[in-house]
A and B are shown apart, each in its own frame.
Chain A
Amino acid sequence: MIRRLFIANRGEIALRVIRTARRMGITTVLGVSEADKASLPAEQADEIALVGPAPSSQSYLSIERVVAAASAAGCDAVHPGYGFLSENAAFARAVGAAGMRFVGPDIATLEGMGDKLAARRLALAAGLPVLPGGEAETPEAVQARAAETGYPLLLKAVAGGGGKGMRRVDRPEDLDAALAMARAEAQASFGNAAVYVERFVALGRHVEVQLLGDGTAALHLGTRDCSIQRRFQKLVEEAPAPALPDAARGAIEQAAVRLARHIGYRGAGTAEFLVDATDFAFYFLELNARIQVEHPVTEAITGVDLVEQQLLVAMGKPLTLTQTMIRPRGHAIEMRINAEDPDADFRPAPGTVTRAAWPAGPGIRIDTHIAQGGQIPPFYDSLMGKLIVHGATRADAVTLLARALGSLAIEGVATTASLHRRIAADPRFIAGGVDTGFLGGLRP
């Protein structure tokens, strides 16, 4: 059993975990930095524990401080949320060494999947297709890899996720500068500057599969499409992936389950694939060994509470769900409302929210930690809330989405809401099945 759960995260995902934990009768202790002491999650948790000063390197990313705070609070489990230490094997090991359960996969899985190159090898061993590329330590080695993959190419953080430390490079002469930036971002975000090189697919779609495993059994909860991205960060996600032939969808889902079984996956995870938009050939990208930002669209169509499943598996319980029990219903779309100015190259816009009128009503879910007077500190990422709509068909969901966006009103900081209104009105989006180049072709 888990009785006292330490939440090693902040923002909307901290609130999301609190909600399910409370429903399950679990007491929550939220680790907070100095900057988050008066946040909404801090207000909603049963207890709070200070983990350090505002900068995340000294608070949310400090293994020592987070584990010490969880131990001192007498917790028996730690939920890491997403980002921060969620996929850090050393953190999971420290949590275990302190006598607490880690709500996430086994340490061996984190080691295998946290290193994207090791993940490639595991995927190949499980029989999944991958893109050409590989690791490169020095600028010279990167140049050599680039000669193999050709241009354009992608530089990615070995320890990465969430688009941090990722750069597209179109010409050889831009490589050195992009490499320095990618390495600096990788260092700042993950404490590991290593990057690798991968071929860039021009007309690609980003399709992922939600997985659940208990170490023995594994099943999938269908696909999500996350092709609408900027700076390789997802902005819009939907479930199921639209405009995908049944054969391709089935093959992708089966490949994901094959990988989960191959590694004896425990907990909730997501296998990400790059799908060629022209012929639906697919390549394994990575397995995110944690809850995803976009998990609500899967929850909307399957009715499964993924955080609850994570907690049950962490308690050592076998999955009670089977593949035939997963019957996706309708279509769900999520839009990420970030404190960023879409008219100024998505410049982060920290500050105080003076008004937060979020959409409400049947078929609408809002996951946010920002209410009136809410603070968006400059220390953390810019996600301030997620708008999720669920309709009987994709067309219903798109209609509901446009209506909800029409009523959404955030004042005090710039947000991506204006961009989302343009996306929701774009004929290509309304038709469905766009590729990752969608945003570049959006009318101003």
Chain B
Amino acid sequence: MAEDLPLTAEDVAEIVAILERSPYRDLDLATRRFRLRVTRGEGQDAGFTQEWQWAGAGAVSDTAAAGVVAADDPLAIGAPLPGTFYHAPQPGAPPFVAVGDEVGPDSVVGIVETMKLMNPVHAGRSGIVAQVLVPDGTMVARGDPLIRLAGPAA
């Protein structure tokens, strides 16, 4: 898979050193496996950049980018970021909210675990929990409706 050695950091630094002494602005190098562009920035004191593109990369379906759903349910609290939605602070603990609970804008209604961090989901407004739309432990995309509120609390 990796017979032709990619350029090392030292190689790139050498390319920059050569470009710096030359009248050229950039170097564009393409092989079967990768394309590398080394470019001088605009302006007098600008640095150089390296941009890599790999033949194999980018072929995967981008689940993360495609998942953003427009919150078409105006009464629902949407996921603030993609991740795993949990009803309770830890397994076995009581859920943050249940149907019929009254919540305020700062009430925590669940947790979205993303990149191993627990991010509290705030209700964002006042209301009464009408329905929990997503089961505990479900992968959700950003904007996915999680909990529906019934009208503002009196």
Contact = CB atoms under 8 A, between A and B. Distances in A.
B89 A181 contact: yes
A181 B118 contact: yes
Contacts of B38: 360
B29 interface: no
A139 interface: no
A258 interface: no
Nearest to A19: B8
Interface string B25-56: 00000000100001101000111111111111
B138 to A, nearest CB: 12
Given A183-B90, A193-B90, A360-B16, A44 B52 contact: no
B52 A22 contact: no
B143 to A, nearest CB: 13
B136 interface: no
Interface stretch (B79-87, B98-106, B144-152): B79-87
Taking each of A56, A348, A366, which has the highest tally of chain B beta carbons within 10 Å of its own beta carbon? A348
A47 interface: yes
Interface stretch (A106-114, A184-192, A318-326): A184-192
Contacts of A375: 57-58, 60, 62, 64
B126 to A, nearest CB: 20
Nearest to A15: B6
Contacts of B113: 188
A184 B118 contact: yes
B51 A180 contact: no
Interface string B110-146: 0101111111100000000000000000000000000
B69 interface: no
A44 B58 contact: no
B154 interface: no
A350 B57 CA distance: 16
Q: Choose among B15, B49, B65, B91 the residue with the greatest number of A CB atoms under 10 Å from its CB.
A: B49
Given A184-B90, A350-B115, A408-B49, A43 B56 contact: yes
A352 B2 contact: no
B71 interface: no
Given A193-B90, A347-B119, A38 B64 contact: no
Given A180-B93, A360-B50, A361-B17, A374 B114 contact: no
Contacts of B41: 406-407
Contacts of A377: 63-64
B117 to A, nearest CB: 7
B115 A378 contact: yes
B116 A407 contact: no
B64 A352 contact: yes
Contacts of B70: none
A93 interface: no
B153 interface: no
Given A364-B13, A373-B53, A359 B1 contact: no
A371 B48 contact: no
A42 B116 CA distance: 22
A410 to B, nearest CB: 11
Interface string A167-192: 00000000000001101110111000
Contacts of B60: 35, 37-38, 375
B145 to A, nearest CB: 18
B116 A164 contact: yes
Contact of A45 (B1, B5, B12, B49): B1
Given A43-B57, A45-B1, A347-B81, A188 B51 contact: no
A360 B12 contact: yes
Contacts of B1: 43-48
A185 B118 contact: yes
A296 to B, nearest CB: 10
A24 to B, nearest CB: 14
A437 interface: no
A347 B64 contact: no
Q: Which of B33, B62, B115 has the most CB of A within 10 A?
A: B115
Output the residue of B6, B80, B91 with the most chain A CB within 10 A.
B6
A46 B2 contact: yes
Contacts of B118: 181, 184-185, 188
A380 interface: yes
B73 to A, nearest CB: 22
A201 interface: no
Interface of A: 18-19, 22, 35, 37-40, 42-48, 56, 164, 180-181, 183-185, 187-189, 193, 231, 347-348, 350-352, 355-366, 371-382, 403-404, 406-409, 412
The 6 closest A-B pairs by CB, nearest first: A373-B58, A371-B52, A360-B50, A357-B49, A407-B47, A361-B16
